[in-house]
Structure 1
Amino acid sequence: IASAGGIQGRDVSGRGVQTNLLKLMEETEVNLHSQTDILGQMQAVMEMQRGGRPRPRTINTRHILFIVSGAFDKLADQVRKRITSGQIGFAHSGQTLDDDAEVLSHVETADIVKYGFEPEFVGRLPVRVACHPLKPADLREILLTSEGSVLNQYREDFAGYGIDFELTDDAVDRIAEDAYKEGTGARGLLTVLERLFRDFKFELPSTAIRSFKITRATIDDPRSEVKALLKANSQAQRDVLAAEVADFAKRFQREHGFELQFTDDAIEALVDESLERDKTIRALCEAKFNDFHHGLKLVSRHTGSSTFTIDRRVILDPEGELSRWVVESFKGGETPSSDTPRGDRDAADSDNAPHA
């Protein structure tokens, strides 16, 4: 609502806003709803319908504390210029003029009025305090002890996936130092932590990793640390993906009534494809076996079987293998299986083929 005068002059809306606030900052009765407020108009109509006059809804501002805060950009430069030009002795008193907070502690009413505030508005703010910027030690304390700490929010996010992490003291110090360099106060902590945890959030939830440690080296290069963590837990990751294959088989049986028995080589093929294409096991299986149950119904109708073996060949060519199963079931053969080598199947088909 205030700004220093420049080429374009003061903000034209600033004076009007300050004037409207003057009455609020004194002891007065203030209407809770304006005449143009839809809610206030509806309440007034309802009270009139009940046979009475609408009662004004007001609040007294006598016991309300008004706090006005802001960044006050360039105000420190304005005060510094006044001090250095008008008080030579101050410059020789050993006090530094580099710290904006120290300079702002010498602000006067004339400085604030010149900055863009109305004298009447400034007069209603008798207490003025210049806040010092947060130091790394302050940011460290905020990170570890503040209520609603952003660090605890990240802990809760990871805990939702069953993952926990530990920060070393060096890592906490480094986070505070980097946040201080951001120059945005405590908000710098969120910037640093988001940069740190971004890759962990995207990579770890779908893995078997349940804990990890954050060190100073992790903060320097989080992406490399994530890759090293994934490599060290590659076998555990494969075990998790293999378990997802079993989960899909159970879900398929529950939804369609057919039991799919995946062989070890079929599971290995699915895991390899999942890692290579960066897709989940569920997404791969749903794509490969999307309409599989329709063909299995035909096979089951002719063979009476509800259990089918899924080997590597089915994973590589699900439609082709299912078509072969359907054809064999119409021939009155046994329950189709992919265990028979393709060469033997071709030879058997040749022997049974009609001859001229």
Structure 2
Amino acid sequence: MDEKEIQNSDVDKEKKDDEQEYEKICYVCRRPESKAGAMVSMPGGMNLCHDCMQKAFDSVTQGGLDLSKIPGMPYMNLNLNDLGSLNKDLEIPKKQKIKKKSDKEPKKQMERKDIPAPHTVRKKLDEYIIGQDQAKKAISVAVYNHYKRVYLADAAGKEEDAIQIEKSNILMIGPTGSGKTYLVKTLARLLDVPLAIADATSLTEAGYIGDDIESVVSKLLSAADNDVERAERGIIFIDEIDKIAKKKNTSSRDVSGESVQQELLKLLEGSTVEVPVGANQKNAMTPMTTIRTDNILFICGGAFPDLEDIIKERLKEKSSMGFSAELKDKYEKDANILSRVTNEDLRKFGMIPEFLGRLPITVTLESLTKELLVRVLNEPRNAILKQYQKLLELDEVKLVFEDDALEWIAEEAIKKKTGARALRAILESFMLDIMYEIPKDPNIGSVIITRAYLDKNGGPLIQMRG
């Protein structure tokens, strides 16, 4: 056997392995073999389902159209028996591959030891997130109960008497920069589950410009590398959920407000959704797959601006006159007024009762104080100061921040009212000159950032080597 024959045999073997591992996809309607049925294989790797094959023959026989005269279709008038004589090296690009579901391999069930205990989750979150103790505790318990529910569902199987535990989705409320998105990202990384983060502002009612509701599940499928079973146990975080509140005093159709809340109901409670594979938009050229959202944990987060005023208004109504009465200005300076939120306040904000009913766990995050911001700067594993110190270590330079300098940065961040996001913006502006000048002189050993430098009353303290 010569070298060419060996290469051809290797190619044939590779094609056979590919056919066994992946489903065939119809070249016309793009449906996989599991949905369209058995395929008719054509030369060049082109597959056609029986429906599309029948439509092609019907259009030829009934319409009297000679497809051979159309440019680019020279072989359509051939007899099927003659198709074998076509060039077998003709290759048609495959848009998408879908792995076959093997009946031999049993579905991997979640084991009891795979479920992380709440204190374990909380301990890991403490390494990355400062403060928000109540929020971390609530989320740790919610995640623990959710995956116990998944474990019980796997263990129960088809038992009729098995107890069905309803899932508890989470609503996170907190001011901007308090760590809502970072908390969910850290949680997904620690649990090693796929995470999809969607922005509620881009969602619209079906049929209108924007993302459909199913696109949220499509992002989760992409995060799970198109593994349906793994995606069905993932986490979906819908950010800016307060932006889909009911619009007040409007006569136009609310396609991005209340209607989006209503369409999200089926996903939050648990339903079967058909989503495109490898794309966010449905079209005829994209294969589809089915995903159940029963075991997907949904976390919705938002800043809910002006919600504080609604809460204060409700609390002031309960104030009365007399020696033991509560003063009306008691709640004006309450920094954590959001912790007193109720479903009644959220309904007044514009969230419909059906939507709130499917988010039974409400977690509120505190505004970051000056002390917390100082801790955020240097305590977490991925703290901002540690990042800059690591960058300067590559130049063999030690970076030190004085305590007064850290307090100054925290005070400026509070003035910006954007939470922890303001810390990086402030540091970037002051570190720009240092990061530019230090590589010029290889004799610099350390740089100390002082409050005087931040106040623009002096420069950083620079110590030379030796």
Q: TM-score when scaled to structure 2?
A: 0.41
Distance change in 2, residues 1:210/1:31 (3 Å): farther
Q: Which structure: greater helix fraction?
A: 1
Aligned-partner Cα distance in 2 for 1:5–1:122? 17
How many residues end up aligned between the 2 structures?
Answer: 219
Which residue is 1:20 aligned to? 263
| 1:6 CA displacement | 5.0
Aligned counterpart in structure 2 of residue 68 of structure 1, from 300, 303, 318: 300
Q: How has the CA–CA distance of structure 1 residues 9 and 161 changed in structure 2, closer, same or farther, with 3 Å as cutoff? A: farther
Partner in structure 1 of residue 448 of structure 2 = 213
Equivalent position of 2:370 in the other structure: 136
Deviant stretches of 4+, over 6 Å: none
* C-alpha RMSD over aligned residues: 3.5
**2:390 paired residue among 131, 156, 166:** 156
Deviates more, 1:135-144 or 1:31-40: 31-40
2:276 aligned partner: 33
Residue 92 of structure 1 corresponds to 325
Q: Give the match's secondary structure for 2:364.
A: coil
Structure 1-normalised TM-score?
Answer: 0.52
Stretches of structure 2 that go unaligned for 5 or more consecutive residues are 1-242
Mark the runs of 5 or more structure 1 residues left unpaired by the alignment: 45-55, 237-356
Q: Is the 8 A contact 1:168 1:215 kept in 2?
A: yes
| Cα shift at 1:25 | 0.4
CA distance in 2, matches of 1:164, 1:221: 22
Selected match of 1:181 from 405, 415, 422: 415
State the Cα distance separating 1:99 from its structure 2 match: 4.2
> Which fold has the larger relative contact order, with Cα–Cα distance below 8 Å and residues 6 or more apart in sequence?
2
Q: Can you list the C-alpha shifts for 1:41-78, whole angstroms capped at 9, x where unaligned?
A: 5563xxxxxxxxxxx52332222222211111111112
Equivalences for residues 239-254 of structure 1 within 5 A: none
Q: Is the contact between residue 174 and residue 216 of structure 1 (CA under 8 Å) also seen in structure 2?
A: yes
Higher-strand-fraction structure: 2
Q: Which piece of structure 1 moves more, 109-118 or 152-161?
A: 152-161
Tell me, in whole angstroms, the C-alpha distance in 2 between the residues paired with 1:35 and 1:193. Answer: 39
CA distance in 1: counterparts of 2:441 and 2:251, whole angstroms: 59
Q: Which residue of 2 aligns with 1:167?
A: 401
Separation (CA, whole Å) in 2 of partners of 1:139 and 1:199: 24
2:247–2:257 contact (8 Å) kept in structure 1: no
Query: 2 CA distance for matches of 1:104 and 1:39?
Result: 40
* One-letter amino acid of the structure 1 residue matched with residue 438 of structure 2: L
Other structure's SS at 2:448 match: strand
Whether the aligned pair in 1 keeps the contact of 2:319 and 2:325 (CA below 8 Å) is no
User: Which residue of structure 2 lines up, in the alignment, with residue 261 of structure 1?
Assistant: none
CA distance in 1, matches of 2:319, 2:247: 24
CA 170–35 in structure 1, closer or farther in 2 if over 3 Å, else same: closer
Name the SS for the 1:114 alignment partner: helix
Map of 2:244 onto structure 1: 2
String of CA shifts for 1:237-274, please: whole Å, max 9, x gaps. Answer: xxxxxxxxxxxxxxxxxxxxxxxxxxxxxxxxxxxxxx
Q: CA deviation at 1:217?
A: 1.9
* Percent of aligned positions that are identical: 33
| Higher deviation after alignment, 147-156 or 32-41 | 32-41
Relative to structure 1, is the Cα distance of residues 173 and 156 closer, same or farther in structure 2, using a 3 angstrom cutoff?
Answer: same
**For the structure 1 residues 102 and 9, does the alpha-carbon distance in structure 2 shift closer, same or farther, using more than 3 Å as the test?**
farther
Amino acid at match of 1:181: K
How many Å separate the matches in 2 of 1:35 and 1:218?
51
Decide whether aligned partners of structure 1 residues 37 and 167 sit closer, same or farther in structure 2, where only a CA change above 3 A counts.
closer
- For residues 202-259 of structure 1, the C-alpha deviation after alignment (integer angstroms, 9 at most, x for no partner) is 222223334211122222227x405x85xx98xx9xxxxxxxxxxxxxxxxxxxxxxx
Distance 1:29 1:147, change over 3 A: farther
Matched to 2:452, the amino acid is A
Q: Say whether residues 1:202 and 2:436 are aligned partners.
A: yes
Cα shift at 1:142: 1.8
Aligned mates of 1:89, 1:59 — CA distance in 2: 58
1:84, CA displacement in angstroms? 1.4
